[in-house]
Amino acid sequence: MADISSNFLGIKSPNPFWLASAPPTDKEYNVVRAFEAGWGGVVWKTLGIDPHVVNVSGPRYGTLRGPDRRVIGLNNIELITDRTLAINLEEIARVKRNWPDRAVVVSIMVPCDEASWKFILPLVEQTGADGIELNFGCPHGMSERGMGAAVGQVPEYIEMVTRWCKQYCSLPVIVKLTPNITDIRYPARAAHRGGADAVSLINTINSIIGVDLDAMAMSPNTGGMGSHGGYCGTAVKPIALNMVAEIARDGETRGMPISGIGGVSTWRDAAEFIALGCGTVQVCTAAMVHGFSIVQDMISGLENFMDERGYRTIDDFRGKAVPTVTDWRYLNLNHVEKAVIDQESCIKCGKCHIACEDTSHQAITSIKNGERHYEVKEEECVGCNLCASICPVENCITMRALAPGEVDLRTGRVVSGDYANWTTHPNNPMATPASEVA
């Protein structure tokens, strides 16, 4: 049986599923029930220095829902903990004492001055917590006060504060990054330079969830006035995966431990983050929407997957997909695929034809012998995958890779099977002559 236990920076947990710093981890009552449900660890809701913050009393959340009303994305305008530092510290110490086999990491956000960090770090360390996570990511409210994302958007600040934490605290330091930045590699590199033991990402994305067209006011709003919030949940997973991969394959940060966050709600999501280099994953929205018990499906699903594939430990497949992530210019232009429509399962809705006809390459028929009939015209198909992506029937449209020696009916070229990348490709007007490629 696969062993899904995790050892992240020396912080051990029975599984890699941690609850992210957020309402599910904001008090002992929640965290204890999360541990009873099986979560491997928590990152405690972000602590600050008293006087503690005051949250709005009114809608803090907004949702983006799919047609079946399932929550796809969640927007929030909540601040860090609104409970006192003393109460949080007392509860953290008790939880860690009572749950020694679980990971208890404490998220911290204080003003960007040395004295504030020097003050809070020993207090957190005294709780017996396993590590600290620096919240450089909160994009609303706290960032207007020069904290959270306001720090995470300035690599020099990240490096400076990380150094203070390494200086005034002996616990592992995880730097939590904001996605509200153009290139995630710069803050990650800064964390690395500052001595961070790991990075975690992503925090939430700046967002306005919608507009109430009757009131002509953004939503959610507090008595008529609103403020942008932070977006998370399933919808942000692709953004998070890309940022994780960018850090995992960057020359300066390659090998740095990563805790993956953003849209994890199933074992499969978690496995994807692990395959792109993460040692643990953190979950917030899925727990808020479905409750703590979802971790059981995550645990059994990950175990089954690893058993089927013969992975004994998480490290056996951690980062395995990273070498497949590259720059566009290195993609193989000798690889050709064509869509194939399975006539047995086709329900003749015509969506593939419409999409291809109106917006792509006019490569799908619509009528044959006077009847609805959808078939790929190989001589027009560029293999873009739009038809397969929008087809409502699973596996009805698949992609077939042409074998070496086959002729691409669209270009008339024989598929060679050689790997030709765009850097040297003759069709590339900016091609580097092959002789100059290192």
135 binds ligand FMN (CB under 6 A): yes
261 binds ligand FMN (CB under 6 A): yes
23 binds ligand FMN (CB under 6 A): yes
Neighbours of 407 (CB within 10 A): 13
* Candidate residues 16, 233, 257, 319; the one interacting with ligand FMN per rule CB under 6 A: 233
What amino acid occupies position 8? F
Task: State which residue, 40 or 262, has the beta carbon closest to ligand FMN.
Answer: 262
Q: How far is the CB of 348 from ligand FMN (least distance, A)?
A: 38
56 binds ligand FMN (CB under 6 A): no
46 binds ligand FMN (CB under 6 A): yes
Task: State which residue, 266 or 365, has the beta carbon closest to ligand FMN.
Answer: 266
Structure token pair of residue 278? 């993460």
Per CB under 6 A, the segment of 75-83, 315-323, 376-384, 387-395 that binds ligand FMN is 75-83
- Chain length of the chain: 438
What is the separation of C-alpha 42 from the centre of its chain, rounded to a whole number of angstroms? 17
**What DSSP character marks residue 427?**
T
Q: How far is the CB of 188 from ligand FMN (least distance, A)?
A: 16
Per CB under 6 A, the segment of 71-79, 87-95, 295-303, 363-371 that binds ligand FMN is 71-79
Residues 156-185 that bind ligand FMN (CB under 6 A): 176
* Candidate residues 2, 4, 11, 20; the one interacting with ligand FMN per rule CB under 6 A: 20
Q: How far is the CB of 398 from ligand FMN (least distance, A)?
A: 30
| Maximum separation of any 2 CA atoms in the chain, in Å | 80
Partners of residue 132 on adjacent β-strands: 106, 173
Angle between helices 267-275 and 294-309 (to 10 degrees): 50
* 8 Å CB contact between 301 and 268: yes
Annotated catalytic residues are 138
Size, binding site for ligand FMN by CB under 6 A? 28
Structure token pair of residue 385? 């995958």
Q: What angle do CA 199, 260, 384 make, to 5 degrees?
A: 120
203 binds ligand FMN (CB under 6 A): yes
Q: What angle do CA 8, 11, 14 make, to 5 degrees?
A: 85
Task: State which residue, 76 or 221, has the beta carbon closest to ligand FMN.
Answer: 76
* 8 Å CB contact between 173 and 165: yes
* 8 Å CB contact between 261 and 274: no
**CA distances (Å), origin 186, targets 132, 182, 192:** 21, 9, 10
Q: How far is the CB of 8 from ligand FMN (least distance, A)?
A: 16
Per CB under 6 A, the segment of 31-39, 72-80, 189-197, 419-427 that binds ligand FMN is 72-80
Per CB under 6 A, the segment of 188-196, 231-239, 323-331, 335-343 that binds ligand FMN is 231-239
Dihedral angle at the C-alpha atoms of 237, 243, 246, 248, nearest 10 degrees? -80
Task: State which residue, 201 or 364, has the beta carbon closest to ligand FMN.
Answer: 201
Residues 387-416 that bind ligand FMN (CB under 6 A): none
Phi and psi angles of residue 72, each rounded to the nearest 5 degrees, phi first: -95, -40
Taking alpha carbons only, the member of 261, 238, 259 closest to residue 318 is: 259
Name, in order, each residue with C-beta under 8 angstroms of 247's C-beta and a sequence gap of 6 or more: 184, 185, 188, 199, 201, 253, 256, 258, 277
Task: State which residue, 261 or 364, has the beta carbon closest to ligand FMN.
Answer: 261
Q: Is 96 helix (H, G, I), strand (E, B) or coil?
A: helix
What is the separation of C-alpha 377 from the centre of its chain, rounded to a whole number of angstroms? 37
Per CB under 6 A, the segment of 118-126, 282-290, 372-380, 383-391 that binds ligand FMN is 282-290
**CA distances (Å), origin 302, targets 202, 245, 271, 281, 295:** 22, 21, 7, 12, 10
Q: How far is the CB of 286 from ligand FMN (least distance, A)?
A: 6
* Candidate residues 285, 298, 314, 341; the one interacting with ligand FMN per rule CB under 6 A: 285
116 binds ligand FMN (CB under 6 A): no
Residues 334-363 that bind ligand FMN (CB under 6 A): none
* Candidate residues 76, 180, 253, 421; the one interacting with ligand FMN per rule CB under 6 A: 76
Task: State which residue, 190 or 261, has the beta carbon closest to ligand FMN.
Answer: 261
Summarize as ranges the residues that interact with ligand FMN (CB under 6 A).
20-23, 45-46, 74, 76, 78, 80, 107, 135, 137-138, 176, 203-204, 232-233, 236, 261-264, 283-286
